[in-house]
Amino acid sequence: MEKKMPREMTGAELKSMLKSSINFKSLGGLKCDELTLPPEDKQWWRDAKIGMFVHWGLYSILGRGEWVRFNEKIPKEEYEALADQFIPRDFDMKEWMEIAKGFGAKYAVMVTRHHDGFSLWNSEGSHEHFTSWHRGAHRDFVGEYAAACREAGLKVGVYYSPMDWRFPGYFDPEGLPENAALMKKQCYAQVEELCSRYRPDILWYDGGWLAHKGSDTSSAWFWEPVKLNKMARSYNPKLLINPRSGWEGDFYCDEGSHEITGGIIPVPWEKNMCVCSGSSWGWMAEDPVSDFDWLIRMMVNVVCRGGNWLVNIGPDRNGRISDEIRKRMFQVGDWLRVYGESIYAASAGPYEPVDNVYGSTWHGNKVYLHILDVEAFRSCVLPYTENRIKNAALFSGEKAGEKVEAAETPEGIRLVLPEGTGQDGEPDIIVVLTMEEEVRAGGDAEIYFTGKE
Ligand code: GLC
């Protein structure tokens, strides 16, 4: 099959896309045919849909966010002394896995080293051996995490920050090239350690830029992400890599808890955000947990637009997850245990979402309409597609199982929801449509964001 040229998005169209709901991080990373995975190698990830993200490190002792060292200009000695206090008592990674499973996650992503440079494994490549193995805890938390994930049946993701604030060369790579080169050397050595020892399924970079300026892509001259990722893939040819190394990656990222609106996004993408509503990814004492209904609607909005949902928790210095977070994670998981067939392994479509009213997912000959506003939905009609509806029924709420009438009108199909639908307070009213045959819907598109104006 002839390969079509990727489409370039530039100028006003690009601006228009950027100002809309999706702010894909690291748009326009370098392209490299050798690194491009075929869609079938990404399918497990696309089917997995739900992941749990964990930010945990020295910053969890201070509780003022993972950027605390930089934001508060904490002197090197003072911050690094925390490494001797990072000794989680009676902590077992199984606790995190219980929560990940409780939440319904199929994969996890753990911060193995954030921008502060502290590594959570026995890293020989770590500059000055600033690790949990050489200091306080004397433990290899990444090893414990990877083993616990596998035992729990979760795919293993590792977050790694190429940049490290400990190096003055990070802030002035051209003025201090030797120091910057040391940081790069650390990055290559550590990515190799992570990939060769723990064999992750996902490598999740963050901070592939320089001096906090420009973008990951504009710093690619320094990091040489194609070389870096070829090395990483030599340990797992099917390793999934996010887009923040300067190479375009296997999927896009949309970060933060802003709403997702607009149409289906026809590329693999992941929304990453926190379960708490504060401004930090690392532990903070007073960080309110987001509302359950809001979380469900966020998840539905993501999945109905083709995305995965990666939700972050910040354990405290002892690795403990607060009761409020635990409760909320299980609550979402309980929902997924009942309605998961409309989420896991489901594709977005065939109907385009209508913001705050409904969206849809499907697999086989079933279409799941996720209705977020029953009243507004009553005046909507579904467009005709190639598939005919055989029957329709409520799937969620107190009236689950009740038939929904599908009336064909010249404008489209009007679904008549039973009286009282949605009055039981469900955040998402699901209607399952059984189609006469397998659903046919559009696949992925190839879109090339250049990031150029
Ligand atoms: C942001 C934060 C960073 C965090 C990341 C997770 O980029 O600055 O600290 O690790 O989001 O995606």
63: phi > 0 → left, psi -120 to 50 → alpha, else beta; which?
A: left
> What pLDDT is attached to residue 187?
98
Please, which pLDDT band fits residue 313 given cuts at 50, 70 and 90? very high
* Sheet (strand 429-435) strand order: 347-348, 358-363, 366-371, 429-435, 389-394
Residue 144 has pLDDT above 70, yes or no: yes
Of 206, 252, 270, 308, the one to substitute when testing ligand 1's pocket (max ligand atoms within 8 A of C-beta) is 206
Summarised one tens digit per residue, pLDDT across range 278-303 is 778 999 988 999 999 999 999 999 99
Do the Cβ atoms of 304 and 360 come closer than 8 Å? yes
CA-based nearest residue to 344, from 336, 332, 354, 352: 336
pLDDT at 47 (0 to 100): 98
Phi-psi region at 34: left, alpha or beta (left = phi > 0; alpha = psi -120 to 50): alpha
The neighbour count for residue 56, using CB atoms within 10 Å, is 27
Decide: residue 401, CB within 10 A, 0-12 exposed, 13-18 middle, 19+ buried: exposed
Task: State the Cα–Cα distance between residues 200 and 3, nearest whole angstrom.
Answer: 31
pLDDT at 256: 87
Mean pLDDT to the nearest integer, 322-339: 98
Given this model, what pLDDT does residue 422 score? 87
Residue count (the chain): 453
Distance from Cα 206 to the centre of ligand 1, integer Å? 7
Closest alpha carbon to 324 in 354, 287, 279: 287
Tell me if 281 CB under 6 Å of ligand 1.
Answer: yes
Say if ligand 1 is within 6 A of residue 272 CB: yes
- Rounded Cα gap, residues 390 and 404, in angstroms: 11
What average pLDDT does the segment 162-168 reach? 98
Q: Mutation test of ligand 1: which of 281, 283, 309 has the most ligand atoms closer than 8 Å to its C-beta?
A: 281
Read off the pLDDT of residues 405-453 as tens digits, 9 standing for 90 and up. Answer: 999 999 999 999 999 998 888 999 999 999 999 998 766 655 444 443 3
pLDDT for res 280: 87
Residue 15 has pLDDT above 60, yes or no: no
pLDDT at 424: 85
pLDDT band at 13 (very low <50, low <70, confident <90, very high): low
Separation of CA 251 and ligand 1 centre (Å) = 17
Centroid of ligand 1 to alpha carbon of 281 (angstroms): 7
Minimal CA–CA distance to 275: which of 243, 322, 228, 307? Answer: 322
The verdict on the CB of residue 334 being under 6 Å from ligand 1 is: no
pLDDT of the residue at 452:
39
What integer pLDDT is reported at residue 18 of this predicted model?
46
Instruction: Indicate the residue type of 299.
Output: M
What mean pLDDT is predicted for residues 246-267?
90
> Which pLDDT score is estimated for 12?
58
CA dist 112 and 217 (Å) reads 23
Which one-letter DSSP state was computed for residue 36? P
| Residue 103 CB–ligand 1 contact under 6 Å | no
| Residue 151 pLDDT exceeds 80 | yes
Share of the chain above pLDDT 70, in %: 91
pLDDT band at 378 (very low <50, low <70, confident <90, very high): very high
Highest mean pLDDT among 169-183, 211-225, 415-429: 169-183
Q: Tokens standing for 215? A: 């973008």
Confidence of residue 215 (pLDDT cuts 50, 70, 90): confident
Q: For 25-74, how does the pLDDT look when each residue is reduced to its tens digit (9 = 90+)?
A: 656 789 999 999 999 999 999 999 999 999 999 999 999 999 999 999 99
CA separation (Å) from 211 to 167, 176, 179? Answer: 10, 12, 13
What average pLDDT does the chain have?
A: 91
Cα distances from 234 to residues 193, 267, 363, in angstroms, run 12, 25, 34
Structure tokens at 323: 């009761």
The pTM is what? Answer: 0.93
Integer Cα distance of 100 and 89 in angstroms: 21
Instruction: State what percent of residues in the chain have pLDDT above 90.
Output: 80
Hey, what's the torsion of the CAs at 154, 216, 55, 303, to 10 degrees?
Answer: -50
- Count other C-beta atoms under 10 Å from residue 5's C-beta: 8
Q: What is the pLDDT of residues 186-204, one digit of tens each?
A: 999 999 999 999 999 999 9
Instruction: Map tokens 């199909």 to a residue.
Output: 413
Tell me which of 58, 209, 255 to substitute to probe ligand 1's pocket, judged by most ligand atoms within 8 Å of the beta carbon.
255
Banded model confidence at residue 3, pLDDT cuts 50, 70, 90: very low
66 Cα to the center of ligand 1, angstroms:
8
pLDDT value at residue 82 = 98
| Position 8 pLDDT exceeds 80 | no
Look at residue 451 in the predicted model and tell me its pLDDT.
40
Q: List C-alpha distances in Å: 96 to 126, 146, 274.
A: 25, 12, 15
Distance CA 133, CA 120 (A): 7
Residue found by looking up tokens 């050397």 in the block: 185
Query: What letter would DSSP give residue 82?
Result: G
Tell me, rounded to whole angstroms, the distance of Cα 345 from its chain centroid: 16
Taking the CA of residue 114 as reference, the ligand 1 atom at the shortest distance is: 10
End-to-end CA distance of the chain: 32
> Atom 7 (ligand 1): residue with closest C-alpha?
206
Establish whether residue 254 lines the binding site of ligand 1, counting it when its CB lies within 6 angstroms of any ligand atom.
Answer: no
Using the atom order of ligand 1, give the atom closest to the CA of residue 55: 10
Residue 20 has pLDDT above 50, yes or no: no
Taking residues 321-330, report their average pLDDT: 97
Task: Assess whether pLDDT exceeds 60 at residue 7.
Answer: no
